[in-house]
Amino acid sequence: MAKCEICSKDVHFGIKVSHSHRRSNKMWKANVKKVRIAQNGVVRTANVCTRCLRSNLVSRA
């Protein structure tokens, strides 16, 4: 599942509307990468979204 372990960003649901106005359900997933992070002196792997990586909320190991 696409969920960030730092900021808890998750999937979002909405409705996709075509040109002829037919509607269908749509799911947007967070851009999550599996990276090795150093947290409290311990190196572990975590699912982190790219916004947390860009804003330096985690330090990569």
Q: Which pair of structure tokens corresponds to residue 58?
A: 């985690």
Distance (Å, whole) CA 40 – CA 59: 10
- The predicted-structure confidence for 6-17, as pLDDT tens digits, reads as follows 999 999 999 999
- The predicted-structure confidence for 2-54, as pLDDT tens digits, reads as follows 899 999 999 999 999 999 999 999 999 999 999 999 989 999 999 999 999 99
The CATH number of whichever domain residue 27 belongs to comes to 2.30.170
Specify the number of domains making up the chain.
1
Domain holding 26, by residue range, is 12-60
In a domain, 2, yes or no: no
DSSP symbols for 10-34: --EEEEEE-TT--EEEEEEPP-EEE
In a domain, 23, yes or no: yes
Residue 1 has pLDDT above 80, yes or no: no
In a domain, 33, yes or no: yes
pLDDT, residue 61, reads: 87
